[in-house]
Structure 1
Amino acid sequence: MDTIQEKRLDEQGLKLHFIQSKKFKTITFVAKIKAKLDKETITKRALLPYILKQGTKTYPDRSALQLKLDDLYGAVLTADGGKKGENHIITIRLEFANEKFIPDASNVMDEAIRLFSEVLFHPNAGKNGFDDAVFKREVGTLKQKINAIQDDKMSYANMRLIDEMCKEEAYQLHVHGYEEDLNSLMNEDLYNYYQQMLKQDEMDIYVLGDFVEEKVKHIIKDTMQRTVQQGTSTVNAVTKKPVSEQQEIIEKQQVQQAKLHIGYRTNTTYQDDAYFALQVFNGLFGGFPSSKLFINVREKNSLAYYASSRLESHKGLLFVFSGIAPDDFEKARDIIRLQVQAMKDGDFTEQELNETKDLIINQLKETMDHPQGLIEILYQQVIGKRLMTPTELLDGIQNVTKEEVVQVAGKVEEDTVYLLTSEGGEQGE
Structure 2
Amino acid sequence: MKITKESVKHNEGYRLHILPSKKYKTISIVAKFKRPLLREKITERALLPHVLQKATNNHPNIRTLQSAFENLYGTALSSDGSKKGENHVLSFRMEVVNETYLKDNEPILEEAFKLLHEVLFDPKTVGQGFDPEIVQREKQTLEQKITSIKDDKMSYANLRLMDHMCKDEPYSLHVHGYLEDFSSITAESLYDYYKTMIENDMLDVYVIGDVDVSHIEELTDRTFKREKNRRNEDNDQKSLHKEIEKVKEITEAEDVNQGKLHIGYRTNTLFGDEDYYALQVFNGIFGGFPSSKLFLNVREKHSLAYYAASRFESHKGLLLVFSGIDPKDFKQAKEIILDQMEAMKKGDFSEEQVEETKHQVINQLQETMDNANGLIEILYHQMLSGAEMPADKLINHIREVTKQDVIDMANKVELDTIYFLTSEKGGE
Q: What is the TM-score with the length of structure 1 in the denominator?
A: 0.96
> Do the aligned partners of residues 2 and 202 (structure 1) sit closer, same or farther apart at CA in structure 2, a change above 3 Å counting?
closer
Q: Which amino acid in 1 is paired with 2:29? A: F
Q: Which amino acid in 2 is paired with 1:220? A: T
Give the distance between the partners of 1:234 and 1:41, measured in 2 at CA: 15
Give the distance between the partners of 1:344 and 1:161, measured in 2 at CA: 24
Q: Which amino acid in 2 is paired with 1:304? A: A
Q: Which residue does 1:124 correspond to in 2?
A: 124
SS in 1 for 2:249: strand
Q: Is the 8 A contact 1:254 1:423 kept in 2?
A: no
Cα distance, 1:231 vs structure 2:
4.4
Cα distance, 1:266 vs structure 2:
0.4
Matches within 5 A, 1:37-186: 37-186=37-186
Give the distance between the partners of 2:420 and 2:266, measured in 1 at CA: 18
SS in 2 for 1:28: strand
Superposition CA RMSD, Å: 1.4
Cα distance, 1:271 vs structure 2:
2.5
Q: Is the 8 A contact 1:169 1:239 kept in 2?
A: no
Q: Which residue does 2:320 correspond to in 1?
A: 319
Give the distance between the partners of 2:89 and 2:392, measured in 1 at CA: 25
CA distances 1:51-106 after superposition (whole Å, capped 9, x unpaired):
11112221222111111111111111001111111110000011010001111123
Structure 1: runs of 5+ lacking an equivalent: 425-429
Give the distance between the partners of 2:326 and 2:14, measured in 1 at CA: 51
Cα distance, 1:6 vs structure 2:
1.2
Mean CA deviation greater in 384-393 or 407-416: 384-393
Cα distance, 1:188 vs structure 2:
0.9
Q: Which amino acid in 2 is paired with 1:337? A: L
Give the distance between the partners of 2:400 and 2:4, measured in 1 at CA: 20
Structure 1 position 343 matched with structure 2 position 344: yes
Structure 1 position 29 matched with structure 2 position 29: yes
Mean CA deviation greater in 236-245 or 157-166: 236-245
Matches within 5 A, 1:381-400: 381-400=382-401
CA distances 1:186-230 after superposition (whole Å, capped 9, x unpaired):
221110111111111100000000111111111222233312332
> Do the aligned partners of residues 218 and 2 (structure 1) sit closer, same or farther apart at CA in structure 2, a change above 3 Å counting?
closer
Q: Which residue does 2:274 correspond to in 1?
A: 273
> Do the aligned partners of residues 389 and 44 (structure 1) sit closer, same or farther apart at CA in structure 2, a change above 3 Å counting?
farther
Matches within 5 A, 1:165-314: 165-231=165-231, 233-314=234-315
SS in 1 for 2:60: coil
Give the distance between the partners of 1:292 and 1:28, measured in 2 at CA: 38
Q: Is the 8 A contact 1:378 1:390 kept in 2?
A: no
Count the aligned residue pairs.
424
SS in 1 for 2:322: strand
Mean CA deviation greater in 90-99 or 59-68: 59-68
Q: Which residue does 1:367 correspond to in 2?
A: 368
Q: Which amino acid in 2 is paired with 1:414? A: L
Q: Is the 8 A contact 1:307 1:323 kept in 2?
A: yes
The percent identity for this pair of structures is: 51
Give the distance between the partners of 1:216 and 1:363, measured in 2 at CA: 30
Q: Which amino acid in 2 is paired with 1:14? A: Y
Q: Which residue does 1:416 correspond to in 2?
A: 417
Q: Which amino acid in 2 is paired with 1:301? A: H
**4+ runs of 1 displaced by more than 6 Å?**
none
Mean CA deviation greater in 225-234 or 147-156: 225-234
Cα distance, 1:127 vs structure 2:
4.2
Q: Is the 8 A contact 2:9 2:15 kept in 1?
A: yes
